[in-house]
Amino acid sequence: MKIRFSEQDERFRQEVAQWMAAHLQGEFEALRFRGGPGDEHMFPEARKAWERKLAEGGWTCVGWAPEHGGRGLSISQQVIFHEEYARAGGPGRMGHIGEGLAGPTIAAFGSDEQKRRFLPGIVQGTTFWCQGYSEPGAGSDLAAVKTRAAQDANGDWLINGQKVWTSLAHESDWCFVLARTEPGSVGHQGLSFLLVPMDQPGISVRPIEQMTGTSEFNEVFFDDARTEASNIVGQPGEGWKIAMALLGFERGVSTLGQQMQFQNELDEIIAIARTNGADRDPHLRQRLAEAWCGLRILRYNSLRMLSGPQDGTLRREATIYKLGWSSWHASLGKLAMDVLGPQAELLEAAPYQLNRLQSLYLFSRADTLYGGSNEIQRNIIAERALGMPREPRPRP
């Protein structure tokens, strides 16, 4: 595990920091520290323009291979980019699903034609993606997917079903959809990975309003939605293998950027504690120290996790990451409210919009559920990482 950076890496860090400082101003000044979790509904068009600005500077897809349009940066430099991006207050990435999930999956499993067709728009910051995995009865248990797809006489895929918790579906051009293409199949069998255009009559998107009052999540309904025969990644029935590889990419180098966003939140909480005197409460001081230590542990485990292959396979260390960060972040949200004290329950004036830490608290309640609940994460650790017997499951 590498926890120090070379002089060349540190020069690269300065390059990233200087570029961010030079461009996160003017028309993009309002985007600083905006558009992250719980705030993803803000400034969508301006953040799409920011994606194009990043592309102009060569700062999209920095870890992708040059043949796919990326910069082919080393793991160290990718870590530095994501950390400095978050440190500078870079806005939540509208292109993160394409860059971090769809693109690497297409590069690893897609055909040459699919790579030529889909990867350039991600690199250029002009094509945006969403993820069609979870369903009302198949959230943490992804193998219970019921959305189905069948080929018509022309070979095109017709998709019927419902996806839920689909982030930014209303702003996306394409969706990768895990669908059941083998009638009568159950579990991991008979699933396929389809690339589906969102702008068509067979797709309707309905926002889901959360307790924060925002609605970046959506339900997506497919009613004979169509995608070309060539838009299947891999072969029919290989969807589970590809879906699991994609989740491996999700635990990639951008996790270090996520942790820098957490650091920004912790820094804000510490600053408030120093201002309002909460830092003199020994119990709160202890919790602040524990939060600081916990974030360092997350960082070191991520660096250990990134020491392995970057091909979508998961080292055993990677299986603890979701459980670790979600539990830590939920605790941070509670800590923020306790540091704020009575101010945590007050809003300035109509229309009574939540401040950043209030949104953090409410949104972080969901961290231990989405992306696989903590209960599911513990099963994954036990069964896949530790080799323990599988939990008994009811017969289908």
Cα(2)–Cα(203) distance, integer angstroms:
46
For residue 384, what are its two tokens?
């896949």
317 is catalytic: no
Cα(64)–Cα(100) distance, integer angstroms:
10
- Do the Cβ atoms of 125 and 60 come closer than 8 Å? yes
Q: What share of the chain is helix, strand, coil (3-state, %, to 5)?
A: 50, 10, 40
Residue with structure tokens 């939920």?
330
In a 3-state reduction of DSSP, which class is residue 206? strand
Cα(42)–Cα(200) distance, integer angstroms:
25
DSSP for 109-155?
Answer: HS-HHHHHHHHHHHHTT---EEEE--BTTBSS-GGG---EEEE-TTS
How is residue 95 annotated by DSSP?
T
Among residues 51, 84, 216, 250, the one annotated as catalytic is 250
- Partner residues linked to 390 by β-bridges: none
Cα(258)–Cα(263) distance, integer angstroms:
9
Cα(32)–Cα(338) distance, integer angstroms:
26
- The H-assigned helical ranges of 213-371 are 239-250, 255-276, 282-305, 321-340, 356-364
Using alpha carbons, list the distances in angstroms from residue 325 to 98, 262, 319, 342: 22, 10, 11, 27
Instruction: Give catalytic residues, as residue numbers.
Output: 250
